Amino acid sequence: MTTLPVALTRDRDFMKLWAAQAVSTFGARITREGLPMTAVLTLGASPATLGVLAALSYGPAFFVGLFGGGFVDRRHRRPILIAADLVRAGVLITVPIAAWLGWLSLWQVFAAAVAVGAASVLFDMADHAYLPALIGTERLVDGNSKLSATESVAELGGPALAGFLFQWLTAPFAIAVNAVTYLVSAVFLMGIQKVEPDPEPVPPQHWVADLTQGFRVAWAEPRVRPLLLMTATNGLFGGGFAALYLLFALRTLHLSPAMLGITVAFGGLGALMGAGLAAPIAKRMGAGPAIVVTAVATAGSALLIPLAPAAPLAGMAVLIVSQLLGDSLGTVYNILGASLRQTVLPQETLGRAAGAFKAAGGGTMLVGALGSGVLANVIGVRETLFIAAAGLAVGPLIALASPALRGVKVIELETE
């Protein structure tokens, strides 16, 4: 094992990237809650309108995945990150301004959801391609674990922060705080001093060719191919869970909003645990077997959700167990899967490959979310969640059937 010249916590450029993501991730939690709350509390949105808003939030992952991969691969990634932050800040600040002037409408909230969602997906794609150039492949698991830990803390404390801001400032004006977080993130990113290598020359071509090449690169690598298939299947059935989870918890299990908030916070705690477990589990089991085992366990934890009894305290207890297991092991799976892709795929194709993953997951999630809503009206919410849970078992079966993935033992697992 090689010795790291500089630990990540003493790498000033990585710490600036980490700080930027920490600030913007907490801000993103405000947007995630703030736009729907603005629609409901300020504009009187109906449940159907909230469904449209949710679909508009999912859509950018699919469409930016279609168009964005070649854009990322042909350019330096850090300027894309900075531009995405500035776009998100500029779009969000229009919401409180319009509310203050009395001009705010549902159409503006819809437009903000689409624009911020698109910029966020492009940010994620560029960040995925930028990290190996910033810290080197030998520290990817450590770096991805630290960044994932920040997201977990945001999920743990973000809802409480958002609730305080909504009560203190009201929903539209709380979004102004989110705009500031993206500006702060951009400032941190501007302070990174390491010179990013020039991107490998990629001939200009139609976005269809870029997307096709992204899928081709991912499909041609036998260790990554199962991850692509799992992303598509998890998006399809996970989209069903995402669309129905809140409705199931509030109406079927009769949880109060406060109980639901506590339950979600346990998911953040589980994800934080998973961020610290990724490297040790991979070292002990091997990276490929760890991906397979955590995929199986994550899918199994989802089955607990439709089994939860329709009694608030008992139902909440079952959901908390599912959140802890699913979010912790799911985080391990995500960290190791991302690190594997960043390590084995050619660096000059990471943007297009990320676009393929975003398009595959985002497109199937749209289908799953819309389809689960229709199916739930016919057979019921709990029954639809059982079908979604069964569908999530498809991903682990793909992993188990892949000898190339199971055979991955090391991804450069050095940590501090």
The CATH number for 134's domain is 1.20.1250.20
Cα torsion 107, 111, 114, 119 to 10°: value is: -160
Do 21 and 128 belong together in one domain?
yes
Q: Which of 322, 324, 342 is nearest to 334 (CA)?
A: 342
Inside any domain, residue 205: no
Distance in angstroms (rounded) separating the CA atoms of residues 311 and 122:
42
Give yes or no: residues 301 and 179 share one domain. Answer: no
- 289, part of any domain: yes
Taking residues 389-398, report their average pLDDT: 90
Structural domain harbouring 325: 212-410
The domain boundary residue, chosen from 131, 163, 195: 195
Boundary of a domain, candidates 195, 227, 249? 195
Kindly indicate the confidence band of residue 283, based on its pLDDT and cuts at 50, 70 and 90.
confident
Length of the chain: 416
Question: Considering the domain boundaries, does residue 367 fall inside one?
Answer: yes
Domain-embedded: residue 342: yes
Q: Based on the fold, state whether residues 298 and 378 are members of the same structural domain.
A: yes
Calculate what percentage of the chain has a pLDDT beyond 70.
Answer: 82
Query: Quick one: pLDDT at residue 415?
Result: 37
Q: Are residues 319 and 385 in the same domain?
A: yes
pLDDT of residue 186: 93
381 vs 246, more confident: 381
The answer, yes or no, to whether residue 42 has pLDDT greater than 90, is no
Give the pLDDT mean for 304-321. 92
The pLDDT of residue 306: 92
**Does 95 or 40 have the greater pLDDT score?**
95
Predicted pLDDT of residue 4: 41
Task: Quickly state the pLDDT bin for 3 (edges 50, 70, 90).
Answer: very low
Let me know whether 172 and 278 are in one domain.
no
* Radius of gyration from C-alpha coordinates of the chain: 21
Say whether pLDDT at 236 is over 80. yes
- Which pLDDT band holds residue 247 (cuts at 50, 70, 90)? confident
Residue-level pLDDT at 49: 60
Evaluate whether residue 279 is within a structural domain.
Answer: yes
> Is residue 414 very low, low, confident or very high in pLDDT (cuts 50, 70, 90)?
very low
Same-domain check for residues 250 and 191: no
For the chain, the distance separating the N- and C-terminal CA atoms, rounded to the nearest angstrom, is 13
pLDDT tops 50 at residue 2: no
Q: State whether 218 and 367 are in the same domain.
A: yes
Q: Is the pLDDT of residue 220 over 50?
A: yes
Say yes or no: 302 and 270 in one domain: yes
Per-residue pLDDT band at 413 (split at 50, 70, 90): very low
Same domain, 217 and 189: no
**182 lies in the same domain as 223:** no
Domain boundary among 195, 223, 250: 195
Among 88-92, 163-167, 346-350, name the one with the lowest average pLDDT: 163-167
Does residue 253 register a pLDDT over 80? yes
Q: What's the angle, vertex CA 196, arms to CA 195 and CA 200, rounded to 5?
A: 140
Residue 411 has pLDDT above 80, yes or no: no
User: Do 132 and 115 meet the contact criterion of CB atoms below 8 Å apart?
Assistant: no
**203/193 Cα distance (integer angstroms):** 28
Position 388, amino acid: A
Q: Is residue 374 part of a domain?
A: yes
Give the count of domains, the chain. 2
For 27, the token pair is 């801000």
The answer to whether residue 308 is domain-embedded is: yes
Position 297 pLDDT exceeds 70: yes
* Confidence at 183, pLDDT banded by 50, 70, 90: very high
Average pLDDT over the chain reads 80
Residue 124, pLDDT score: 83
Q: Which residue has the tokens 């191919």?
A: 225
Give pLDDT tens digits for 58-109.
677 777 777 766 777 778 889 999 999 999 999 989 988 988 888 888 888 8
- Cβ neighbours around 2 below 10 Å, total: 7
The predicted pLDDT at position 304 comes to 93
Compute CA distances 256 → 209, 261, 319, 320, whole Å.
Answer: 49, 9, 13, 14
DSSP state of 5: S
Residues 323, 227 share a domain: yes
Shared domain for 97 and 141, answered yes or no, is: yes
Q: Is residue 304 part of a domain?
A: yes
